[in-house]
Amino acid sequence: MTELTVNGKSRKVTADTDTPLLWVLREDLGLPGTKFGCGVGLCGACTVHIDGEAVRSCQVPLSDVGARKVTTIEDLGVGGLNRVQVAWIAEQVPQCGYCQSGMVMAVTALLKNNPKPSVTEIRAAITNICRCGTYPRIVAAIAKAAG
């Protein structure tokens, strides 16, 4: 049994401790907003926050989480959309939408650390892959969220 804190709640899971956090979230905790894309840390579809930092949950074994706080897309904007979500809607960013929860998690963490990123900094920080190619709208939405 492993105890972890997800979206502000203490949760107990029986998954093997080497199970990637991605699968613990999806399969054990019923939080399907975090997506599986590549499984090898390249696409960013599985991005969540651990203690407020963006991480690719397919690369984090359950045993590495410990007492740190995990936040998923399901908890973002509870009680009101955050500025990234508002900008995403305003710019109509998603096409198929599959990668977007990971994108929003990555961008929210970026703007927490760097509230006014340049386009160069955005391109360096957001390496998530969007197969629909919505990158121009993503950059526009980040600029809008950054104000």
Cross-strand pairs, 6: 9, 70
Which residue, 32 or 39, has its beta carbon nearer to ligand FES?
39
Residue 14 backbone dihedrals phi, psi, to 5 degrees: -105, 5
Output 21 or 146, the one with its CB closest to ligand FES.
Answer: 21
User: Which contiguous run of DSSP H or E holds residue 106?
Assistant: helix 100-113
Contacts of 113 (CB under 8 A, 6+ apart): none
Nearer to ligand FES, 44 or 117 (CB): 44
Residue nearest to ligand FES (CB): 58
- Taking CB under 6 A as the criterion, the residue among 56, 71, 105, 122 binding ligand FES is 56
Smallest gap from Cβ 99 to ligand FES, in A, equals 9
CA 107 – CA 144 distance, rounded (Å): 12
Output 4 or 43, the one with its CB closest to ligand FES. 43
Binding mask 8-47 for ligand FES (x = CB under 6 A): ----------------------------xxxx-xxxxxx-
Q: Which of 126, 125, 64, 131 is nearest to 96 (CA)?
A: 131
Query: What is Dmax (Cα atoms) for the chain?
Result: 44
Q: Closest distance between ligand FES and the C-beta of residue 64, in Å? A: 14
